[in-house]
Amino acid sequence: MDIEKIIKSGVLSQEAYPAEELPYRIKLDANENPYPLSPSLKRLIFERLESVSLNRYPAPGSPGLKAAFSRYYGVDEEMVLIGNGSDELIQILMTAVGASSPCSILFPTPTFAMYGISGLNAGHRTVGVPLSDELDLDTEAMCAAIADLQPSLIFLSYPNNPTGRCFDRGGIERILEASSGLVVVDEAYCNFSGKTFLHDLDRWDNLVILRTLSKVGLAALRLGILIGHPSLVHQLNKVRLPYNVNIFSQIVGGLFVEHSEKFLESADRIIADRKWLSDELMSIEGITPYPSDANFILFGCVTGKDEVYAQLIDRGVLIKDFTSPAILRECMRVTVGTTEENREFIETLKDIL
Ligand SMILES: Cc1ncc(COP(=O)(O)O)c(C=O)c1O
């Protein structure tokens, strides 16, 4: 068998997502929420789970959850699609688009890796438009690429992972105006930015919003929510696997909507700790934190970055290192952890430097 004659070139050209985890004491590499659920929320979950029929398939299309999230976001049920994490929703979008050939997928770079990975896996042409030197959206370059390529899908992480800031709203509006394809505003970190395009769905029928429960303390559930035009959601439902969301996640997702205030309590704490962490990073010579609207901070380390990263790992402090693209070569990204974890990270970093 000649596997290279069977598998798409976009798949062959990639490395598998790294599955191996480095050993750690403090895990600040994956933009997770550091706080476990309260005992009362855990009790509530276990009570609800008692009635689950594990011998039955979960409800296809997660109808209960779809209704709950449509009320929660104040949109029609026909506008909501529930996914196995927003990763799956990105993959569903990639699978569905492609009326034109070649089909282009556009996003600024650097950004969330799955836009590129999923696009290549689906056999699309993926095009990254570099951010400006200030790590801002280059709206002119984005609009020129839109005019040139007529992309079927544009992804904008808002705030952007890994750079941390929300792009300028006016720039995104220009992109929405300029594009005849779908513009996906990925609001994975909206609970830390307080900014959203959710109230703009009436203005653009090509606007699609992605949300996730992963950053509010429920990453293990794998629950993502897509909100978009009913005609789009209708088509995407044909691509969605029938039982894409397991019963456990459907039940806990429902509890999130019922008790969202409790689930979201940790966000305020993370926002306050982000400020502390950023101020501390700023005070260290040779370290330059970038402003952040998310639950992580990108920072530059002008000298010996590779050695600093290696020593952090040696001491059990796991953060995210970047070797590419060039603009991130001197950068690392740290997730805002618990107050104690942040303090320990800063002390370890100062000690290394
Ligand atoms: C911008 C962005 N979108 C989506 C995701 C993935 O979310 P989920 O866990 O719901 O698949 C991430 C994860 O880090 C992200 O940074």
**H or E element that contains 331:** strand 331-335
What per-residue confidence (pLDDT) applies to 22? 86
Domain with CATH 3.40.640.10 in the chain: 50-262
Residues contacting residue 50 through CB under 8 Å, at least 6 positions apart: none
Separation of alpha carbons 134 and 132, rounded Å: 5
* pLDDT of 226 higher than 90: yes
* pLDDT of 44 higher than 80: yes
What per-residue confidence (pLDDT) applies to 100? 83
State which fold the 50-262 domain adopts.
Answer: Aspartate Aminotransferase; domain 2 (3.40.640)
Question: pLDDT of 243-276, one tens digit each?
Answer: 999 999 999 999 999 999 999 999 999 999 999 9
**How far away, in angstroms, is 270 Cα from ligand 1 center?**
18
| Confidence bin at 284 (pLDDT 50/70/90) | very high
Give the mean model confidence (pLDDT) for residues 328-348.
97
Instruction: Name the H helices within the chain.
Output: 9-12, 39-49, 63-73, 85-96, 113-121, 139-149, 169-178, 190-193, 230-239, 247-258, 260-263, 265-282, 305-314, 339-352
Q: Is 31 in the pocket of ligand 1 (CB under 6 A)?
A: yes
Q: Is 266 in the pocket of ligand 1 (CB under 6 A)?
A: no
Domain with CATH 3.90.1150.10 in the chain: 19-37+266-352
Q: Which amino acid does the sequence have at 179?
A: S
Question: pLDDT of 190-223, one tens digit each?
Answer: 999 999 999 999 999 999 999 999 999 999 999 9
Give the mean model confidence (pLDDT) for residues 216-242.
97
Question: pLDDT of 296-308, one tens digit each?
Answer: 999 999 889 999 9
DSSP per position, 174-205: HHHHH-SSEEEEE-TTHHHH---SGGGTTT-T
Give the mean model confidence (pLDDT) for residues 325-343.
96
Give the mean model confidence (pLDDT) for residues 119-124.
96
| Confidence bin at 18 (pLDDT 50/70/90) | confident
What per-residue confidence (pLDDT) applies to 295? 98
* pLDDT of 101 higher than 90: no
* pLDDT of 94 higher than 80: yes
* pLDDT of 72 higher than 90: yes
Q: Is 212 in the pocket of ligand 1 (CB under 6 A)?
A: yes
In the CATH scheme, what is the code of domain 19-37+266-352?
3.90.1150.10
Other CB atoms within 10 Å distance of the CB of residue 214: 22
**How far away, in angstroms, is 192 Cα from ligand 1 center?**
14
* pLDDT of 115 higher than 90: yes
**How far away, in angstroms, is 340 Cα from ligand 1 center?**
25
